[in-house]
Amino acid sequence: MKQAIADRTTVRGFHLTFPSPVVIEVAASLDLGFVYLDGEHGAFELRDIEACCVMAERHGLTPIARVAENTVSAITRFLDRGVRGIVVPHVETVEDARRAIEATYFAPLGQRSFGGGRPHDHINAPDLPRHLQDANEGVSLCLMIESAAGLEAMAEIVALEGVDYVSFGMMDLSQSLGHAGNPGHPAVREALRKASETARAAGKPVREDFMAFAWIHDAILTGLGQILDERGKA
């Protein structure tokens, strides 16, 4: 994620909402760059997160994940399982943003906890200070704005070091703005436009600026529908 942002290139991937290393293995043949594991609304246990990370690493995909909550324990557990990009939902204040940064990065940027984790995270690392620095450089942090309060704090949030990019939870955001179920409402779209401009002005891209992605459910339905339609005409 960091490299794509720096190079101003587009990285492709998909959102996975259920644990399936096999799906990752199959999808990797499409020359993808990342897989997004939905740990907030998806059906993942920690062992599932690790299995998916192992498969992603095997095929050169960067595993990123939305955590269920903005806590040290939640973020630490996902990082220890091999996640290389943290997405924190429901960020509403600069204090929320700082909490996420503290948990995601080792010092001096944060205070990430160092523990067992995956073996490659600490075994055969003779230079631990360098190892922690490499870990910081190899992880990305995305903050999700999903409420009117988050929009109000946008300028302060994107100014913080350690925030790589932002995204918007459109359904929750539209609900917070008084237009539940209607993320396309003009007032919601205008709020999104202004917030996106604020982020970009601070040098922080919006997810859609550099990521092309599909939800696994849409991919299954679209692909299955096309195949069946074609075979039905044969």
Concerning whether 90 is annotated as a catalytic residue, the answer is: no
Cα torsion 122, 128, 134, 136 to 10°: value is 90
Per the CB < 8 A criterion, the answer to whether 174 and 183 are in contact is yes
Residue 106, CA atoms < 13 Å, CB-side half-sphere: 17
Map out the domains of the chain as residue ranges. Answer: 2-233
What pLDDT score was predicted for residue 3?
A: 92
How would you list the strands of the sheet with 165-168, edge to edge? 165-168, 140-145, 85-88, 62-66, 34-38, 11-16, 211-215
What pLDDT score was predicted for residue 128?
A: 83
What pLDDT score was predicted for residue 126?
A: 77
pTM of the model: 0.94
Kindly give, in sequence order, each residue whose CB lies less than 8 Å from that of residue 33, ignoring residues fewer than 6 positions away.
4, 11, 12, 13, 61, 62
Q: Give me the catalytic one of 15, 41, 90, 122.
A: 41
pLDDT at 69 over 80: yes
Confidence of residue 120 (pLDDT cuts 50, 70, 90): low
Tell me the C-alpha distance between 206 and 164, whole Å. 9
- Which residues on neighbouring strands pair with residue 15, listed in sequence order? 36, 215
| CATH superfamily of this structure's domain 2-233 | Phosphoenolpyruvate-binding domains (3.20.20.60)
Q: Describe the crossing of helices 94-104 and 72-80 by its angle, rounded to 10 degrees.
A: 30
Q: Which residue do the tokens 């503290």 mark?
A: 102
Nearest to 158 by CA among 145, 148, 177: 145
Q: What is the pLDDT of residues 138-157, one digit of tens each?
A: 999 999 999 999 999 999 99
pLDDT at 122 over 90: no
What pLDDT score was predicted for residue 196?
A: 98
Per the CB < 8 A criterion, the answer to whether 12 and 32 are in contact is yes
Nearest to 209 by CA among 177, 168, 178, 157: 168
Average pLDDT over residues 182-194: 98
pLDDT at 108 over 70: yes
Per the CB < 8 A criterion, the answer to whether 70 and 90 are in contact is yes
